[in-house]
Structure 1
């Protein structure tokens, strides 16, 4: 079904204006070591760098045992926090609302400014109940950002984060934190591309719209359904950044529990010697859409916090050091790919 043209026109105008390795990794799961200081060339502030030790064998996406230090592209926590404040100020961003369109336009502008080719991928969402509140049917978008010369039929990975919130929350942690860490890693990756191209996607309509909570991740499901057989084979892994800023001793790196844990192990191994991580299982974000079709997938984030899905999910909930740690984990993984 086609979305309402008026909403899409508004989204397009706003965008203009704001000008996841494969099946088997052998060996034991990595263990987390005591924090260690990062070198000045790590690309992240020293206070954000401590790490696990891990061993892996060669997955479908080959990783080096240690990621090389970045030459350029320091992770800018101030930039990330500024974006979190901007998105939170928009207010609650239900997937079928004009506020979600404004968030999509803002994120698209950030990715375009970083040098990506950005397009909107529209889709319909059903009416339902989101965290106890009735929400209408309507349209939403995925914001898809590709580096120049990108070919989806060639090997690549996807890093994503969801745009929407539940109706009563301004969503600083859930999920402005994931969106802006994604945007910052995207900026760094354009400055220093790695061994595999990275497609960055802001997914619409991740939050549940069904009374049982089972109807969710509409945007990522739509994205996966739109891939042809060649593009699915070329997609070597997907990582979802969802709630990555709440203070914690380590960064959660979760598998979806459906048969692709190798990617989560590879992500933890890539940040060995730099950032503390912990293993987990989580089935509640956009990575499940990819895992459902046997594309290796993982989720970063999911630390519990009192303001979850509430009006109190504001920027003060987010911890700068945890943002930098989450960014460091994603960056190390991206740098390890070849």
Structure 2
């Protein structure tokens, strides 16, 4: 302990000198894992179930605590067959988090992950991993804003409810349908986080086959100095709804794993290293020049 009684203080900035930009606290993988455990403990979260409502409330609380203005968009979902199990019609919700002063008609990007699971799975990897990486990067982005404003959206009803797997992504389709023409033009890109915690040597960055790959390419370029990625194609998550509307979009995640869509999709499936790498990829893209 020092014997001096003086107290050091940071030097004051000269008059008219802009304050130095704030820097985000580092990505907290333990915080992410805690959120994954909390969501998985709710149990299976079919889109029209009370469990999905509890998950939406949990994620909304995390985003509000990070300083976002959170709104809920409710929409109808049909009855159907989800991964071999009959599920009822009902309502689901998109949780939309905007930074203070956000104008949806000005250039911005969207980051999303999905709230629901198939009926037999607690969904630690699919997709609590995506939700909690998104929430942690949202916290970082409020502390240190990116190159463009970011809307963070937890989408309801991503999982298929029939149609041989074609009736899916109801929440992201509802969100996109609700955008006016100026708002659609303002979205410079969308990234979906879906199954981002399975151990792998690289983070998958996927685009829809036959669609523009420029957004996926940009994500990979931004991440190249810090995290290995690999290209892929994928048409089975919420990014597809944006591509269909002419908005560049990509998906992070999609590494196969044995517990996929099963009761075994529990927190022990999730790899902390891959969560950290996925968060780093998203953070690098958010920070990258446009």
Task: Tell me if the contact between 1:258 and 1:291 (Cα under 8 Å) persists in the aligned partners.
Answer: no
**Residue 331 (structure 1) aligned with residue 283 (structure 2):** yes
1:124 alignment partner, one of 76, 85, 97: 76
Change (3 A) 1:316 1:333: same
Deviation at 1:72, TM superposition (A): 2.5
Q: TM-score of the superposition, structure 1-length normalised?
A: 0.79
Deviation at 1:272, TM superposition (A): 1.3
The equivalent residue for 1:150 is 102
Q: Distance in 1 between matches of 2:101 and 2:249?
A: 24
Superposed CA RMSD in Å reads 1.1
List runs of 5+ in structure 1 lacking aligned partners: 1-69
Q: Distance in 2 between matches of 1:305 and 1:257?
A: 22
Task: Tell me if the contact between 1:84 and 1:180 (Cα under 8 Å) persists in the aligned partners.
Answer: yes
Which stretches of structure 1, 4 residues or more, deviate above 6 A after TM superposition?
none
Deviation at 1:326, TM superposition (A): 0.1
Deviation at 1:258, TM superposition (A): 3.8
More contact order relative to length (CA 8 Å, sep ≥ 6): 1
Q: When the two structures are aligned, how many residues end up with a matched partner? A: 270
The equivalent residue for 2:147 is 195
Cα shift readout 1:40-78 (whole Å, capped 9, x = no counterpart)? xxxxxxxxxxxxxxxxxxxxxxxxxxxxxx932200000
The equivalent residue for 2:245 is 293
The equivalent residue for 2:173 is 221
**Residue 232 (structure 1) aligned with residue 184 (structure 2):** yes
Task: Tell me if the contact between 2:74 and 2:92 (Cα under 8 Å) persists in the aligned partners.
Answer: yes
The equivalent residue for 1:36 is none
- Partner of 1:212: helix, strand, or coil? helix
Cα shift readout 1:267-305 (whole Å, capped 9, x = no counterpart)? 000011100100000000000000001100000000000
Q: Distance in 2 between matches of 1:268 and 1:101?
A: 34
Task: Tell me if the contact between 2:161 and 2:167 (Cα under 8 Å) persists in the aligned partners.
Answer: yes
The equivalent residue for 2:211 is 259
**Residue 91 (structure 1) aligned with residue 29 (structure 2):** no
List runs of 5+ in structure 2 lacking aligned partners: 1-21
Q: Distance in 2 between matches of 1:337 and 1:308?
A: 36
Q: Distance in 2 between matches of 1:285 and 1:194?
A: 24
Greater radius of gyration (CA): 2
**Residue 277 (structure 1) aligned with residue 277 (structure 2):** no
